[in-house]
């Protein structure tokens, strides 16, 4: 009797990599929008009356609603409704939030009665900053929800295949957005006569393209599900034991490994993403260069990360050593931030700044490349979406509070020494947690040090 061989859509390399490109481009545009204002910090402060404290509050606003519980709801939506509905919803939220932020920064809004009313309410922040923060809140909900949805989508399409490589490539493409916006944002602003509005409008249009991309991916995913159902690999309706229940969240919160990963995540990313918000201005002040030069110097940050992350993904798929990578990444981050604090001010050379930025990019490759593919090893698949969202929720607490802290410290000290020491301390704590994670994995055998691609029994014979 001849066995029937079924090939699903994700078994075709061209199909699954095309799906990856579609969703990765959505995140590429999202990362561009996240940092579109970073190279314009000096310009926005001069043209709209902001200061470092206001800029820090604006930067923190991206995470406020997520911290208040939206990400927990997002995880439930993801596990209940699936990656298609959640992805389209998250992309739509990003577009809506970007539109609100664009209106808040626009010259037109400055002349409206609403802006005047916002100026008079809570005078610590100008009306433009309040409106921009509102839009950034909505965008942040969509962006973080999209990040978790993309992770679950990749886990689905690359299960048993090149999962770490796929996640690494997605992160590399997304980070290319940081590089691109550090060049494009000042250039577009300069071409528009020093406008802060033009770069925002450009990136908002890109987010709309990202939404279209995800809709196309959803069509592909619908076809894959139909194939899986027809082959008996999946059912249209989940069985009671496979159905997600609210009580399943307790399994996540009671997991020691979850908390080690979540706390490692929040400490590590709190030393990276808030730093990105202030890095162009830090280089501007420390190296005594203009804003355009500073942003272009910092644009080198994701370059090595983009190149290394896919390579590290291949290494993780075939060789493993994920927990060890987390430790090495934390050490590199500590050294870089301490060098920013003490070495660069003494030797304010552009080549040294670029060298440190690029080395920090190595850390930005090691940690995420090892961290995200490790989550499916410690969490059941039916609650994987909620697990990712809860990790992002814990992460967002730090990402919300740290920009506020850095803004206050900058206003009180007038320099970047203390902020860099704060970032370094996060790295020290992240290293301690990565060490504990490796010890726990050795005790319980979750397989964080093992390769993702395992030979099945038929291949061994």
Domains identified in the chain and CATH numbers: 17-453 (1.20.1250.20)
pLDDT tens across 408-456, in order?
Answer: 898 898 889 999 999 999 999 999 998 998 888 888 877 777 776 655 4
CA distances (Å), origin 195, targets 34, 43, 217: 18, 8, 35
CA distances (Å), origin 281, targets 270, 275, 312, 416, 422: 18, 10, 31, 10, 17
Per-residue pLDDT, 237: 46
Burial class (CB in 10 A: 0-12, 13-18, 19+), 414: exposed
The parts of the chain modelled with pLDDT lower than 70 are 1-6, 119, 122-123, 233-248, 452-461
pLDDT tens across 349-406, in order?
Answer: 999 999 999 899 888 777 777 777 777 777 777 777 777 778 878 887 888 888 889 9
Torsion-angle region of 320 (φ positive above 0: left; ψ -120 to 50: alpha; else: beta): left
CA distances (Å), origin 208, targets 58, 177, 202, 280, 333: 23, 15, 10, 27, 34
pLDDT tens across 111-130, in order?
Answer: 777 777 776 776 678 888 88
d(CA 414, CA 418): 10
Cα angle 159, 164, 166; round to 5: 80
**321 close to 452: Cβ distance less than 8 angstroms:** no
**277 close to 59: Cβ distance less than 8 angstroms:** yes
């Amino acid at each position: 009797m001849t066995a029937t061989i079924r090939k699903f859509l994700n078994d075709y390399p061209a199909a699954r990599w095309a799906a990856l490109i579609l969703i990765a481009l959505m995140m590429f545009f999202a990362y561009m929008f996240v940092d579109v204002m970073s190279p314009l910090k000096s310009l926005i402060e001069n043209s709209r009356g902001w200061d470092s404290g206001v800029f820090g509050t604006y930067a923190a606003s991206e995470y406020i609603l997520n911290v208040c519980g939206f990400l927990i709801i997002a995880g439930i939506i993801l596990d209940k409704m699936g990656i298609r509905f959640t992805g389209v919803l998250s992309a739509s939220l990003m577009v809506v939030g970007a539109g609100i932020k664009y209106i808040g920064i626009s010259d037109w809004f400055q002349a409206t009665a609403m802006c005047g009313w916002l100026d008079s309410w809570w005078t610590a922040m100008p009306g433009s900053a309040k409106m921009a923060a509102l839009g950034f809140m909505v965008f942040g909900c969509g962006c973080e929800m999209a990040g978790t949805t993309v992770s679950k989508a990749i886990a689905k399409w690359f299960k048993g295949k090149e999962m770490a490589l796929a996640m690494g490539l997605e992160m590399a493409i997304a980070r290319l957005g940081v590089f691109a916006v550090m060049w494009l944002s000042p250039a577009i602003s300069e071409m528009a006569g020093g406008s802060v509005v033009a770069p925002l409008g450009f990136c908002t249009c890109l987010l709309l393209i990202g939404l279209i991309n995800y809709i196309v991916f959803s069509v592909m995913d619908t076809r894959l599900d139909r194939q899986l159902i027809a082959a008996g690999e999946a059912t249209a309706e989940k069985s009671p034991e496979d159905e997600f229940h609210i009580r399943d969240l307790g399994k996540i919160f009671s997991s020691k490994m979850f908390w080690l990963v979540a706390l490692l995540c929040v400490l590590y990313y709190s030393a990276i993403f808030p730093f990105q918000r202030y890095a162009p201005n830090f280089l501007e002040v420390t190296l005594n260069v203009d804003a355009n030069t500073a942003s272009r110097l910092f644009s080198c940050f994701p370059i090595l990360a983009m190149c290394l992350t896919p390579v590290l993904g291949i290494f993780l798929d075939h060789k493993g050593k994920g927990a060890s990578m987390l430790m090495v990444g934390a050490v590199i981050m500590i050294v870089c931030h301490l060098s920013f604090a003490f070495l660069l001010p003494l030797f304010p050379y552009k080549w040294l700044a670029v060298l440190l930025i690029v080395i920090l990019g190595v850390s930005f490759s090691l940690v995420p490349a090892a961290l995200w593919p490790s989550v499916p090893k410690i969490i059941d698949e039916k609650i994987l979406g909620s697990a990712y969202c809860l990790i992002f929720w814990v992460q967002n607490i730090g990402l919300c509070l740290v920009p506020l802290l850095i803004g206050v410290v900058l206003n009180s000290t007038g320099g970047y020494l203390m902020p860099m020491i704060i970032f370094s301390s996060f790295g020290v704590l992240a290293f301690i947690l990565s060490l504990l994670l490796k010890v726990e994995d050795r005790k319980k055998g979750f397989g964080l040090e093992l390769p993702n691609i395992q030979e099945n029994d038929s291949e061994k014979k």
